[in-house]
Chain A
Amino acid sequence: MSSADEPLLPPPDSDAMLVERAVAGDQRAFELLVIKYQRRVERLISRMVRDTDLVPDIAQETFIRAFRALHQFRGDAQFYTWLYRIAVNTAKKFLLQLKHDPTVSESALTPRDEDDETFIARTEPSTEESPESLLAAKEISQVIDTVLAELPEDLRQALVLREMEGLSYEEIAVVFGCPIGTVRSRIFRAREAISVRVRPLLERQGGKRW
């Protein structure tokens, strides 16, 4: 588990390939991206819109707009950066529309940060998040830490090099002096070992975070 205050950058992934597949007509490929980024997009929006009831609707609208604009995604930037920009613009548009709605209270519109015109990565948890959800997240993190420490050395190192150092399979294979297939197997087995222990906790978790 990272001890730094700032989150580590995510490693290279299949986002661009899934976008290409979605543009070609496979909506399920786009759904995989939605599954991957739903919570991150919602968290971003929740920092811009105080009324938590609006977050899922704005997140839905974000993904709809992203889907419509998928053919414009050139791959010259990370997909999540492109998606986050859409989320920010969608939230701002929602706020503007609601400003003109006399039935909406001012407190529902006030962003969490007055100068939050653009997304700024923050590491501190939102004060609106429920204690239960914070506790659950902490428990999940601890379980992941524990299982990671219990893993055989080769599996743990492979997963750490991949998830925290962002190395490709090929690079990890060079580090270990083993075939790429072995790296692929080790990373998968490490993930599966953690998944088996953490999935029951995740499935028990429910309700809104905020």
Chain B
Amino acid sequence: MSDHFPLHSERVSALMDGELRGAEFAQAALAAGESPDARSDWDTYHLIGVALRSRTADLRLHDPDFVARLRDRLAREPMRAAPRSTPVVQPQNPPATAVPAANDARWLRVVGLASVVALAFGLWQGWQSLGGGAQGGGPALAQLTAPDLADSSAGASVSSKGATVMLRDPRLDALLAAHRQRGSVSALQMPAGFLRNATFDEAGR
């Protein structure tokens, strides 16, 4: 048996099995649609499969005149694009991918840390607006910068303006730790402006 086969024939064989993807699929589909030899392979290979699966199937090649007449009619049909929200192709053998569970420890740490950062910044904004920071025995200030975050890929950011001061209070930390698993504040959520707007004692009000 000769090993010198046209490339389009082997591609047609893989094309009919749905095993081609991307550029190779596009090239094979184009060749099968345009080349008479490739279309002949397409027809014959399919017929072989039909014959192997059934003893009573219609074992005839397609009628070229039928396809030619249909092509003429199709040429007069307007093309209609599929709605973008409704994909046609369904993966035949979707690869099994491990989806990390929502309660995976790594994700819990990321969410917890992001919650802490977002809440702490919100509290700091409120503290600033109240003119705080001068109380005796107040909580120690800690410097926190983006690279110090445990997982910067989580997208946590302390402040859009580069402020890196975070208010730390042992009692607050304990409260946050107790609610860490239920924290739903996005790490990217901007501090609530209402804390600033809720201030009073503005002159002339």
What residues of chain A have their CB less than 8 Å away from a CB belonging to chain B?
Answer: 1-2, 7-21, 23-32, 34-36, 38-40, 42-43, 56, 59-60, 63-64, 67-68, 70-71, 73-76, 123-125, 133, 136-137, 140-141, 144, 148, 159-160, 162-164, 168-170, 180, 184-185, 187-189, 191-195, 198-199, 202-203, 205, 209
Contacts and interface: CB of A to CB of B under 8 A. Distances in A.
Interface string B67-107: 10111011101011111001111101100000000000000
A63 B70 contact: yes
27 contacts: A2-B53, A7-B57, A10-B53, A11-B49, A14-B20, A20-B88, A26-B29, A30-B74, A32-B33, A34-B66, A42-B58, A63-B70, A64-B77, A67-B74, A76-B90, A169-B19, A170-B93, A184-B14, A184-B19, A185-B10, A187-B13, A189-B1, A191-B45, A192-B9, A194-B48, A199-B44, A202-B47
B59 A141 contact: yes
Contacts of B52: 1-2, 144, 148, 159-160, 163-164
A133 B56 CA distance: 12
Given A188-B5, A188-B13, A38 B62 contact: yes
Among B10, B32, B44, B88: residue with most chain A CB under 10 A:
B88
Interface residues of B, number: 64
Given A137-B58, A163-B53, A202-B47, A14 B15 contact: yes
A12 B66 contact: no
A169 B49 CA distance: 15
Which secondary structure dominates where chain B touches chain A? Answer: helix
The 4 closest A-B pairs by CB, nearest first: A28-B33, A7-B54, A188-B13, A8-B53
A123 B56 CA distance: 6
Given A35-B39, A71-B80, 15 more contacts: A17-B29, A19-B88, A26-B33, A28-B30, A32-B32, A38-B62, A39-B58, A40-B57, A56-B66, A70-B82, A148-B52, A189-B5, A198-B44, A205-B60, A209-B58
B20 to A, nearest CB: 7
A81 to B, nearest CB: 13
Nearest to A159: B52
Given A125-B56, A144-B52, A191-B45, A32 B29 contact: yes
A16 B61 contact: no
Contacts of B71: 27, 31
Contacts of B57: 7, 40, 137
A206 to B, nearest CB: 9
Contacts of A14: 15-18, 20, 25, 29
Nearest to B15: A14
